[in-house]
A and B are shown apart, each in its own frame.
Chain A
Amino acid sequence: MAADSIVKRLKAPGALARGRLADRAFFIATFIFAGLVLLIVAAIFIELAVMSWPSLIKFGPRFITSSDWDPVAGKFGALPLIFGTVASSVIALLLAVPLGLGVAVFLSEVSPPWLKTPVGFLVELLAGIPSVIYGLWGIFVLAPLVMNHLAPWLNHYFGWLPLFRGTSYGVGLLTAGLILTLMVLPFITSVSREILATVPRDQREAALALGMTRWEVIRHAVLPYGRVGIIGAVILALGRALGETMAVTMVIGNTPRISASLFNPAYSMAAVIANEFTEASSRLYVSALIEVGLVLFGVTFLVNAAARLLIWRVGGGQKRARV
């Protein structure tokens, strides 16, 4: 690094050696902690694999292709659960990314100063609400709203899409997606807002000087600068959506079936673990539930990899390694 060579020339030999030692020690310290993270995830993975061994042997690949979930007969297939998890997370991100970014841009670029603090504060409040409260609010307030207003409206205007066919009983994929949207919003908004705040003023002024409109400044000068960080925020949000348990299980309807309509009840992987783990009686049953956790690990891997690929495709260019 260029700066290092300057340091080299400036420093006396003895001090330099000491400084280097300290730098080395610092590097090793951070390395150890990064390694600890790796170790923890590896340990969780191994534990899941060991605990789910009976089910892994018994069902093999059928576990993820079958849609039978019958604890009494000892048949376990996770396909509908995978579907429910992915579908509800996709709904959440489709809504939360534009909304969250919109709020972040508004707060950092448009908003009058007096509005920034209260709105930012409110959004951060969202993160502090325990998920069981989201769940209860979901059953008592959101689900009836969806059943009586949102679903009939969607059905009336967009009923030609298979997504909005049928009647809603309140709980279902759509409601789960909406709850998740609210839950992941603070990740996107708060983090993006911090990132936009770090964009240097020169960047904006240069763009303005070129005669750009305010939106063009944001679009071409501000957002690209914070791109990596914003993607990081979205990935955090995705992670939360995939793994969220308590709130989803209260509003998703908990029915392991795959259907095209968002009004229908579904089931998610995290929800089935939370629902059945504490009461599971037989060994095979417990290990099948743990295997669901293992599958969720795999799905997260794939979804994150897919997200990266997508970003590479869309972004196309350098600085990709660390997205």
Chain B
Amino acid sequence: MRRFFASSIVKAVLAASLIVAIAAGVSGCGPGKPVTPETGGGAGNKVKLNGAGSTFVFPMMSKWSALYDSVKPGAQVNYQSIGSGGGIRQVIAKTVDFGATDGPMTDEQLQEAKKPVLHIPVVMGAVVPAYYLPGNPAIRFSGPMLADIFLGKITKWNDPALAALNPGVKLPDRQIVVVHRADGSGTTYIWVDYLAKVSAEWKAKVGVATSVNWPVGLGGKGNEGVAGQIKRTPGSLGYVELVYALQNKITFGAVKNPAGQYIKGSAASVSAAGAGAANTIPADLRVSITNAPGKGAYPVSGFAWLLVYAGQENQKRGQALTDFLWWVIHDGQKAVKPLDYARLPEQVVKLAEGKIKEIRVSKANGR
């Protein structure tokens, strides 16, 4: 056998594996104890909850997970962003303890899941029209006009319709370069859902989904793809998440709401939209709140939900999950603002409480 190992390739292969193993071991010993006491020795008797889904809520979830660690050291909540659709499919396949999505499950999907799945709203977000024009003028948009631009009917920045909304703004004689998301995303869903509500033509010709057949424009991958394209193309107009626009200081315009006001996306105006729609929210909390009524409501807003089964199979995990959800919609909301997300309005917290109370673990002590 010694001869066998004398072969240099075998040696190299072994050496490489050894290096990998040692390195894994070394970095394994290093950080464990001093920095993160909560992941040290006693991890064995902790309840580990795994969740996956929406990319949009990932930063928020990682913050909550860290905070919850210090509040409740008995539970570890691990959340990974694999996309809302991915999250929904994992809930159906029961490979995770909870999912997260920024577009509600469809009836077809709920049927696939066989057992009842609850939608617990946890945070709100919005989508804003971002653009790049020399001089960065502040521009106002109306819903039908945005639809016409994305349909390719308005092609110039100095179109009379745009000019009429923006008296006093010097609009250049430039082509509008439309930029949209190419990857399927909740951001796209909220955007086109809004366009479909304000434009019959959009509804008929394009429709609503996480990816659509865009009549015009360039497709960027992710918020950063769209933002990167916008920043580099004079005359471009696209849409990005509010959080992304605020954090990266991207210019975006105000949109006219049903009350006739021109509102810029902000944490407050998004929460106002949630409050405005609260009366019309159906029992299962699956709802689109774009174009919501109410003063100061930003019209292109939406919820993000955590998805859990109403019937939990494991007493300990079910209890830990329920506790975590309860914490998220109450104390957890304090952490929302600094990250530029919008918190749930009071009315919606009440509705979410009701949903969490529907969760039954084996001993039926949902709280």
Contact = CB atoms under 8 A, between A and B. Distances in A.
A307 to B, nearest CB: 29
A170 B232 contact: yes
A281 B208 contact: no
A124 to B, nearest CB: 15
B184 A280 contact: yes
Interface in A104-134: none
A281 B102 CA distance: 13
Interface stretch (A89-97, A139-147, A194-202): A139-147
A303 B292 CA distance: 52
A277 B177 CA distance: 27
A68 B177 contact: no
A267 B229 CA distance: 16
Given A70-B212, A73-B207, A144-B232, A279 B218 contact: no
Contact of B85 (A140, A249, A271, A279): A279
B199 interface: no
Contact of A139 (B103, B108, B225): B225
A46 B224 CA distance: 36
Interface string A280-315: 111100000000000000000000000000000000
Given A276-B184, A279-B85, A250 B211 contact: no
Given A143-B232, A250-B225, A275-B184, A171 B212 contact: no
Contact of B177 (A139, A143, A169, A280): A169
B200 to A, nearest CB: 15
Given A72-B206, A249-B182, A254-B221, A276 B211 contact: yes
B218 A281 contact: no
B221 A249 contact: yes
A74 to B, nearest CB: 10
A56 interface: no
A135 B212 CA distance: 23
B213 interface: yes
Contact of B228 (A69, A140, A276, A282): A140
B208 to A, nearest CB: 7
A277 B86 CA distance: 8
A278 B55 CA distance: 10
Contact of B210 (A143, A255, A265, A281): A281
B37 to A, nearest CB: 32
Given A169-B233, A253-B219, A282-B106, A71 B211 contact: yes
B281 interface: no
A170 B108 contact: no
B194 to A, nearest CB: 15
B82 interface: yes
B218 A265 contact: yes
B78 interface: no
Given A139-B229, A249-B221, A278-B82, A254 B182 contact: yes
A225 B211 CA distance: 51
Interface in B77-108: 82-86, 88, 103, 106, 108
Contacts of A255: 214, 217-219
Contacts of A147: 232-233
B250 interface: no
Contact of A281 (B82, B85, B206): B85
B319 interface: no
6 contacts: A72-B206, A171-B229, A255-B214, A279-B85, A280-B85, A280-B184
7 closest A-B pairs by beta carbon, nearest first, are: A279-B184, A278-B83, A254-B219, A254-B182, A72-B207, A279-B85, A70-B213
Interface of A: 68-73, 135-136, 139-140, 143-144, 147, 169-171, 249-250, 253-255, 265, 267, 271, 274-283
Given A171-B229, A275-B221, 20 more contacts: A71-B209, A71-B211, A72-B208, A72-B213, A135-B221, A147-B232, A249-B221, A255-B217, A255-B218, A275-B183, A275-B211, A276-B183, A276-B210, A276-B211, A277-B184, A278-B82, A279-B85, A279-B183, A279-B185, A282-B108
